[in-house]
Every structure is written in C-alpha cells, then in structure tokens.
Amino acid sequence: MSSSISDSILEQRISDGSAIFGVVGLGYVGLPLAVAMAERAGNRCIGFEVSPERAQQINEGQSYIGDIPSEELAPLVQKGLIEATTDFSRIAECDVVAICVPTPLNSHNEPDVSYMIAAAKDIAPYLKSDVLVTLESTTYPGTTEEILLPLIESNKLVLNENLFVAFSPERVDPGNETWKITNTPKVVGGIGERSTELATLFYSKFIDTVVPVSTARAAELSKLFENIFRCVNIALVNELAQLCERMDIDIWEVIDAAKTKPFGFMPFYPGPGLGGHCIPVDPFYLSWKAREYDFHTQFIELAGRINENMPYYVKTRLMDALNTQGKALNGSRVLVLGVAYKADINDMRESPAISVIALLKEKGAQVHYHDPYVAEYVQDGERVSSIPLTIDELKSADAVIILAGHTGVDYDLVTEHASLVFDTRNVIELNAGDTVIRL
C-alpha cells in the first residue's frame, strides 16, 4: 500500500528516534513496556496514569512492579526518557500511543472492557494527526475494530490516512528471568495494511522479533489461543490428578515419566487453581464472543469448570487429611504457605490462594499465611498480614498447605515440625514422610 506524505512523516519520526511514545496504564504491562521503549529505542516515553500516587512514584524513580527494579527505572527518569502524568491532554505530544489497561471479567464471567473504553475516551480529544494507536490489553476478536476505533476516529482523524490502529497482545510473564518484553516475539495485527506496517516498525525499534499477522482480529485471537491452550492442558492434568488420587498413583511421577518422551508431549502440572490475569480470564472472553456466532465452545468451558473446581477439591482433600488425624477443619489452625499466584513473585491477581483461604474460613478454619513476597493483602475488606515462619507457628498449626512454591521457603523446617503438610505444588521431597500429602 502506498504511503501518504503525512504517514511518511510518522514513519520517519519512528525510524529516526524523534517520535514520542505514550503508554496509557503503568501496571504490570505498561511500565515494563515504557522501560523497554526508553532503554532500547531511546525515545522519550510519557506514561499516563489515573493514579496520582503511581505517577508520583514513577517520577521519583520508584518502581512498584517487581520485574522493573527502581535501579533500572531511576536512570531513565533522570535522563528525561520516562515521565508519568495524570494530564491526558499531553497525549497531543505523542506520535505513538499504546493502551495497556486491565480487561477483567465481571461478576457474570463476561468481558469487562470498561477500562479500555475509558482510556480511549480519555485520549480521543487529544490525539494529533498522524498518530499510531496500539491496544495491548487482552480481549476478544473484534474489539480493536468494533470498539476502540469508533471511539478515536473522527472527522479529523481518518483510518490509514492520518490515524493508524493496531492490536499487539502483551506477553508478559511476571518473574520470568529468561523471557522479557524485548526478547519475546511480538505479534502485531493492524486494521489495514498500513497500520500493520507502522505498528511493526514501531515495535521493531525495541523488540527483537516482531510477527505481523493479517488483521487485528487474528492478533486478538492469537493471544486468547495461547492462554486457552494452557488452560485446557492444565485442566486435563488437574482432572488426572484427581483420578490418580483415587487410584493411589503419584501424578507427579506420571508427568516426570511422560516428559522423557522427546517428541509429541509437553508437560503441564496440576495445582490448587489458576492464577494470574490471563489464563483464568481469557478463555471466557472467547466463549462469550463465540455465542454471538451461535457457537458454544464446549471444550473450553469444560476446562474452565474443571480449573474453577480445584480450590474446592483442595479444601476437600485437606478436610479428609485432617479427619485421618481425628481432627475437623472447623476450628483447626491452618497455615498457608504462599498466597501469590505462582512462585517467587508478589502478584496476587486471580490467585487461587484467595479462593482456598475463603473456602477454609467458611468451614470454620483459623487461617494464617506466610509469604516472603506478599507482606499483606486485603480480603473481604479485611487487611491480613504475613506471619513469620517459625518452629512455634509450624508446631501450633494443625495443617500447613503449600499454595505457592516460593523457592526461598525453608521446606525442610516445614516438614520437620509440621504435623500435616498438604503440598499442592510438588515442592517437598518425595521421601519427606507420612505427614506430607500431595495433590
């Protein structure tokens, strides 16, 4: 497709490093993206936040995201490469704007795109001519074209003339020391060929590998497919774990044996439930959208039900284990190890620990927790704090349940002094003794 003079100017500004980047939403996705832009591309980046506290922290060089140390952020702030603001009129300074806001589910497991709509409305009045807008928030196919575009297009901004719009799904894995934003391939799909070209050029400035696809809808579905693939396979192994418990077979041994096959098998592991922003949420986005086409994603919905049931299964297994010791869950003191959704991070988004703890409390258990990464959190309006992992705490607990397998926890101390340990993450050595049960 031929380029107009105006979008050639935008292309030139992206290419020569004079473009100013804007990031809307400085959370787990937006802040790492802004840092990657500034570090690798060397362009000025303005972060837009609705939270004055967050904006102030960024401008002081203080990071609140675990994957971005303050020592990495502060020099970029000092050089003027990154700044944060709550003033959305400054969108007018930006040549490229990336929207990185949450897309959760509502109470009916339906997509909640209200944050994305609010962000689009916030930026729309201030978008300059010759601007590229990308959406990184995970969503269902059609969102970029059907919802975002109408909110930002106007008489002055015409798609693929002086307004360019694309979807490029975030692929952030909190705590992953190997795969970061810059070396994880980036899928890009624009609304129109020229939007795809400019978005590809933009992301290529600071990401090693960019993978363009034909449409924004294809890019949107690619992200859902990635996480549905994981959701379905985790559901399979969670179901097998329940069967193995009845058959008195160690599911972890079965997985270890199966993964020795060098082809045709990929290991997935059972757990107390799904956590993080993506895997528990994304399948429902596609299931909801599929109904618009009179199609029911039965396989995906079944996987969702299996995974959602895991906290209940964990509760039942713990009740049974306590019963074998002549104890009831009601009145028992339960120590939870790890409330983050996975090991060695402080991220509690959709953590299965929240559900498990709530279920245990409903049955009358006295629940306390220890997590070296999560000092405190709020549940049902109540602020709860991590307690020290001491011998006295372990001895006083009727049961210890491991919900996140943080590597810094002294599990030898746990097995030595706890009367009952329920390991849902396979972090305890196999020969730890009869006081340890596994998922």
Asked if residues 222 and 187 have their Cβ atoms less than 8 Å apart, the reply is yes
For residue 19, give the nearest of 40, 48, 49, 45 by alpha carbon: 45
Asked if residues 401 and 318 have their Cβ atoms less than 8 Å apart, the reply is yes
For residue 318, give the nearest of 374, 379, 251, 367 by alpha carbon: 367
Asked if residues 224 and 282 have their Cβ atoms less than 8 Å apart, the reply is yes
Q: What pLDDT score does 284 carry? A: 84
> 45, 94, 100, 278: which one is catalytic?
278
Q: Phi/psi of residue 168, each to 5°?
A: -140, 100
Ranges of the chain with pLDDT below 50: 1-2
Give me the residue label for tokens 């199966």: 258
CA distance 337 to 414: 10
278 labelled catalytic = yes
Q: Phi/psi of residue 197, each to 5°?
A: -60, -50
Q: What pLDDT score does 279 carry? A: 76
CA distance 145 to 388: 51
What pTM was computed for the model?
0.90
Asked if residues 406 and 389 have their Cβ atoms less than 8 Å apart, the reply is no
Distances (CA, A) of 203 to 1, 90, 234: 20, 22, 31
Q: What pLDDT score does 7 carry? A: 67
Q: What pLDDT score does 55 carry? A: 97
DSSP string of 147-173?
IIHHHH--SS--BTTTEEEEE------
Asked if residues 126 and 97 have their Cβ atoms less than 8 Å apart, the reply is no
Q: What pLDDT score does 5 carry? A: 58
Q: What pLDDT score does 2 carry? A: 46
For 369-384, write each residue's pLDDT tens digit. 999 999 999 888 889 9
Q: Which two tokens stand for residue 351?
A: 């953590």
Residue 28 burial (CB < 10 Å; 0-12/13-18/19+)? buried
Identity of the amino acid at 23: V
Q: What pLDDT score does 105 carry? A: 84
